[in-house]
Structure formats: structure tokens, C-alpha cells
Amino acid sequence: MFGNLFGREYRRKRALSKAPEGILRDYLSHPFPHKKTLCAEADIVAVDMETTGLDPKKDEILSIGLVEIRSQSIRLDTAWHEIIRLDRALPEETVVIHQITDDQKAQGRPLEDVLPELLARLSGKTMLVHFKRIEQGFLDAACHRLYGAPFVIPIIDTLELGQRVFERRNHTIQPNDLRLFNLRTRYNLPAYKAHNALNDALATAELFLAMAAEMNPKPNCRLYDFVTD
């Protein structure tokens, strides 16, 4: 856990040395939260992305949603949702899953216009996701393509926290146990419609607060208790 946070700060400085002047360099110039930051004092941003597939090398971001956690409370006034404009038609199976039509996509903003705002919202904070491979992978690919340097940030992953909970209880993990909405059921959280980036970001934020209260209920819990990357 400690090594991961130290490693992330090292990678931030290394990426900063390679980043050209501009948006990403400004983002990387802000130090990450200290490993001993109290949870009650941590600024955490729950992020979710809907994409055309799982491979950031060939697939694209369809939408981004986020909501912030401050003082261990979800700040609904920070909710933010953007549909990304793509220059190609979406496969029918993608529209069925995400409910983002070609007309909606055409009215969205291009990723190069949305990414600077996202980076500004994440600057100096911790990112909260469910299954970090998606958000980390697609943001890293986008930053490499648009800015020529990697995306680096401390991450809390509720999927990995869920796995940790199962292992502590010596429970066998079934194939779907770690899905976002299946984990929410275990914590008696309400059901939301899936595959909307803002809904899923809010769902992840609620799940994290429930898991954190169970895993470390002490008022002096630290950020490194939950950072997974």
C-alpha cells in the first residue's frame, strides 16, 4: 500500500519532466495527497466512463461522469456529465448498452475539449473508480495521444476493495460478485439504472463510503488505507 502511493508520486514527477507546456503539465504540477491524509480531509473524485469497448488502443470514450466526495460526504453540487462527440457511427450493440444515440453523440463535445476540464477537476486529488483498468487505461491513452505524456493519479478501486473484503472473510468469489451493482446489494444500497456515467459515478461513491465505514470505522482512518494504486 505504502509503496503504491510512493510509486505514484514518483511517476507523477517523472511524467511531469516529460510533459510539454500546457494542460497536462499544469495537472502534473500539483502534488498528490499525502499518504497520511485523513479520510475526512481527503478530496476524492468518483469517475465513471462509458466506452465503445474495453481496449483503449482501439476503443473510444463515449461519456464521462463524476461527483466529488469531501469530508466523507458526496457533494451532489459537483456532479458533472459529458457526452463525447465521435466522428463515426456507433455499433447497434453499443447503443443498446449505453443508450447514447448517434444524435446525442453528435451534440457532445470532442474529447480534446472535455479532457482539460476533467484534469482540472482531478488536479491534486484522488480518483475513485470501479475497475480501474477502464478509467486509468482510457485516460492514459488519451493523454499520450493528445499531450504526449502519461496520466498519473492515486486511485481507489471499489472492485479491489471488494476483493479485499471477500478475502478477509475467506469467502469464495463468484464470477459476478465484484460487479458494481452486486456489491451495492451487499451493502443494502438502492438500485440505479446502470451504464450511465454519472449514475455509475454516484453509485461508486456511495459504495465506497459504505465499504470504508465497514473496513475502517475509526475516525482517524487514512487515505492509504484505501488507495489501491
Greatest Cα pair distance, the chain, in angstroms, is 50
Per-residue model confidence as pLDDT tens digits over 140-195: 999 999 999 999 999 999 999 999 999 999 989 998 999 999 999 999 999 988 88
- Edge-to-edge, what's the strand order for the sheet holding 44-51? 73-83, 61-70, 44-51, 126-129, 155-157
Phi/psi region, residue 101 (left: phi>0; alpha: psi -120 to 50; beta: rest), is beta
Q: How confident is the model at residue 80 (pLDDT cuts 50, 70, 90)?
A: very high
**Per-residue confidence (pLDDT) for residue 103, from 0 to 100:** 62
Output the pTM of the full model: 0.92
In terms of pLDDT, which residue wins out, 72 or 89?
72
Q: What is the pLDDT of residues 186-225, one digit of tens each?
A: 999 999 888 899 999 999 999 999 999 999 888 889 999 9
CATH number at residue 87: 3.30.420.10
Cell triple for 211: 465499504
DSSP-assigned letter for residue 189: P
Q: Strand 126-129 relative to strand 61-70: parallel, antiparallel, unpaired?
A: unpaired
Q: How many CB atoms lie within 10 A of CB 130?
A: 28
SS3 64: strand
CA angle 153, 158, 163 (to 5 degrees): 120
Instruction: Collapse the DSSP code of 80 into the 3-class scheme (helix H, G, I; strand E, B; otherwise coil) and give the result.
Output: strand
Please give the grid coordinates belonging to residue 67.
Answer: 461527483
Angle at 167 between CA 163 and CA 168, to 5 degrees: 120
Using the structure block, give the residue that is written with the C-alpha cell 494504486.
229
CB of 125 closer than 8 Å to CB of 45? yes
Which pLDDT score is estimated for 9? 85
Look up residue 129 and give its DSSP letter: E
Q: Which domain holds residue 171?
A: 2-225
Please name the residue that has the C-alpha cell 463524476: 66
Number of domains, the chain: 1
